[in-house]
Amino acid sequence: RGEPVPRLDDVLDRFYRAAEPFSPDHVVRLTGDCPLIDPDVIDSIIELHLTEGNDYTSNTIIPTFPDGLDAEVITWNTLKIASENASLPSEREHVTPFIYKRPERFRLGCLEKEGKSLFGLRWTVDENEDLLFVRRVFEALYPKNHAFSTDDILDLLRVCPELKSINSGFERNEGYEKSLKTDEAFLASKKTQ
Residues 46-61: tens digit of each pLDDT: 999 999 999 999 999 9
- Listed in sequence order, the DSSP H helices in the chain are 11-19, 39-52, 76-85, 89-93, 97-100, 128-141, 150-159, 174-192
For the chain, list residues with pLDDT below 70: 1-8, 173-181, 183, 185-187
The widest CA-to-CA distance across the chain, in whole angstroms, is 60
* Per-residue model confidence (pLDDT) at position 181: 66
Give the model's pLDDT for residue 94.
Answer: 87
- pTM here is 0.88
pLDDT of residue 29: 97
What structural domains does the chain harbor?
Answer: 11-117 (3.90.550.10)
pLDDT at residue number 2: 59
pLDDT one-digit tens code per residue, 111-130: 999 999 999 999 999 999 99
CA 82/CA 135 separation, integer angstroms: 36
Contact 69, 41 (CB under 8 A): yes
